[in-house]
């Protein structure tokens, strides 16, 4: 099992305001709630499929805080619900994706968690792992080519994706051209059922940075503040012409890979219970309360508000229609398309 570090014990705000700390915590609550909602709706038979991101709340809330909406671009993967809401997608948009409604950005075409939003700067991506990394690098090339300093591309992936050839090819190209690109690896130690030890001999992914000729760093992805500090430093370096970085945050995956996976076939209940002792959500909550950033009452109210917002989004999205059968035929090419028949 990967060494994930420990949860934060003392508060070092790393330049963040109390409001920003609370915004990160709210993002973590929202991610957890929306994440669970997907699994609940699946068990209720209302949605065919959901993907979980429990355990990734801190790394995603911290990374989202380092993202500049309107300037930066995010090229995420399918376990990035917290990043998606962290950069501005609404719970309603998340539920539209879960329910595959016509009003969804993707028109109900893609799996849940495969978000796309040009307005938020979130690049469309598929389920094919690492296929999005060259896209992120191409977008970073466009920024540099047009002289758009102050903008950077943040790409994310899990540990398993770093085995793909396109991951390597992209890192190499980004380094050659000194692109405004940050590769954030969310290392939770599992690629569906395959443990890190079967994925790579050297378990510390960040060490590959030296081979590409770029800065690399490993950090505790259970700590949203440390995550923010590391991602922000890398993004600032990218935005100011300092080139790409490879950063690796360690965390856990509490849930099975998806609603279609049974993780008890490859790991034990005790193992998952041990992981849950490092749950970043109560840890960050305790830190905020212990340091007088917020009272327990205020955070409880926040939790209720997140539940209310999730419930409202669920009802609103569920009430909307599916795409029409005729929508199958649109957006194949620009303009009307007469299918070959």
Partner 1 sequence: MAVTETSATTVMNNVEAVRATLYEAMKNDDRTVILGEDVGPRGNVFLITKDFIEEFGETRVIDTPIAEASIVGIAVGMAMEGLRPIAEIQFADFIYPAFNQIVGEAAKIRYRSNGEYTCPLVIRTPYGGGVRGALSHSVSIEALFYHVPGLKILAPSFPADMKGLLNAAIDDPDPVLFLEHKKTYRLIKGEVPNGHYTIPIGKANVLQEGTQLSVVSYGLYVHWALEAAKQLANEGMSVEVIDLRSIRPMDKETILKSVEKTRKLLIVHEDNKFGGIGAEISAMVAEEALFHLDAPIRRHCAPDVPAMGYALPLEEEYMSSPERIAQAMRELVAF
Which positions touch partner 1 (CB under 8 A)?
73, 104-107, 109-110, 114, 116-118, 123-124, 126, 128, 131, 133-143, 145, 165-166, 169-170, 172-173, 176, 330-334, 339-340
The answer to whether the beta carbons of residues 96 and 85 sit under 8 Å apart is: no
- Residue whose CB is less far from partner 1, 155 or 293: 155
> What DSSP assignment string belongs to 65-111?
HT--TTT-EEE--TT-HHHHHHTT--HHHHHHHHHT-TTSTTTT-SP
- Residue whose CB is less far from partner 1, 165 or 321: 165
- Residue whose CB is less far from partner 1, 172 or 194: 172
Question: What is the nearest approach in angstroms of partner 1 to the Cβ of residue 233?
Answer: 24
Question: What is the nearest approach in angstroms of partner 1 to the Cβ of residue 111?
Answer: 10
- Burial of 117 from C-beta contacts in 10 A (0-12 / 13-18 / 19+): middle
In this structure, are strands 194-195 and 73-75 parallel, antiparallel, or unpaired?
A: unpaired
Question: What is the nearest approach in angstroms of partner 1 to the Cβ of residue 177?
Answer: 8
The answer to whether the beta carbons of residues 107 and 87 sit under 8 Å apart is: no
Residue 272 has φ and ψ, to the nearest 5°, of: -70, -35
The answer to whether the beta carbons of residues 82 and 156 sit under 8 Å apart is: no
Which DSSP symbol is given to 12?
A: -
- Burial of 205 from C-beta contacts in 10 A (0-12 / 13-18 / 19+): buried
- Residue whose CB is less far from partner 1, 23 or 131: 131
Question: What is the nearest approach in angstroms of partner 1 to the Cβ of residue 118?
Answer: 5
Question: What is the nearest approach in angstroms of partner 1 to the Cβ of residue 24?
Answer: 28
Question: What is the nearest approach in angstroms of partner 1 to the Cβ of residue 124?
Answer: 4
- Burial of 83 from C-beta contacts in 10 A (0-12 / 13-18 / 19+): buried
Measure the CA–CA gap between 142 and 107, rounded to whole angstroms: 27
- Residue whose CB is less far from partner 1, 70 or 165: 165
- Residue whose CB is less far from partner 1, 134 or 215: 134
The answer to whether the beta carbons of residues 61 and 281 sit under 8 Å apart is: no
The answer to whether the beta carbons of residues 193 and 266 sit under 8 Å apart is: yes
Question: What is the nearest approach in angstroms of partner 1 to the Cβ of residue 46?
Answer: 22
Question: What is the nearest approach in angstroms of partner 1 to the Cβ of residue 75?
Answer: 8
Measure the CA–CA gap between 207 and 215, rounded to whole angstroms: 9
- Residue whose CB is less far from partner 1, 90 or 117: 117
Measure the CA–CA gap between 199 and 158, rounded to whole angstroms: 11
- Residue whose CB is less far from partner 1, 71 or 204: 71
């Amino acid at each position: 099992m990967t060494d994930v570090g420990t949860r934060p014990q003392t508060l070092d705000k790393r330049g963040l305001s109390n409001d920003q700390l609370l915004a990160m915590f709210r993002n973590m609550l929202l991610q957890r709630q929306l994440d669970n909602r997907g699994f609940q709706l699946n068990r209720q038979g209302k949605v065919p499929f959901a993907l979980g991101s429990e355990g990734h709340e801190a790394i995603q809330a911290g990374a989202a805080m380092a993202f500049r909406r309107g300037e930066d671009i995010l090229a995420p993967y399918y376990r990035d619900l917290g990043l998606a809401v962290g950069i501005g997608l609404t719970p309603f948009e998340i539920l539209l994706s879960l329910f595959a409604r016509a009003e969804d950005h993707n028109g109900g075409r893609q799996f849940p968690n495969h978000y796309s939003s040009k307005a938020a700067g979130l690049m469309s991506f598929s389920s094919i792992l690492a296929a999005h990394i060259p896209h992120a690098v191409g977008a970073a090339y466009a920024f540099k080519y047009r002289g758009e300093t102050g903008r950077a591309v943040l790409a994310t992936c899990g540990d398993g994706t770093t085995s793909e050839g396109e991951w390597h090819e992209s890192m190499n190209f980004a380094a050659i051209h000194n692109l405004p690109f940050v590769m954030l690896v969310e290392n939770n130690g599992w690629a569906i059922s395959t443990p890190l030890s079967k994925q790579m001999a050297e378990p510390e992914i960040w060490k590959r940075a030296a081979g590409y000729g770029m800065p690399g760093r490993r950090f505790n992805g259970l700590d949203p503040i440390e995550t923010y500090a590391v991602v922000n430093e890398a993004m600032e370096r990218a935005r100011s012409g300092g080139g790409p970085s490879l950063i690796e945050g360690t965390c856990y995956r509490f849930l099975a890979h998806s609603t279609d996976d049974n993780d008890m076939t490859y790991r034990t209940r005790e193992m998952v219970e041990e992981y849950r002792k490092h749950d970043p959500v109560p840890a960050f909550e305790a830190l905020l309360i212990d340091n007088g950033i917020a009272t327990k009452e205020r955070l409880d109210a926040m939790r209720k508000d997140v539940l209310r917002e999730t419930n409202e989004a669920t009802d609103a999205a569920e009430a909307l229609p599916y795409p029409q059968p005729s929508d199958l035929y649109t957006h194949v090419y620009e303009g009307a398309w007469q299918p070959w028949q």
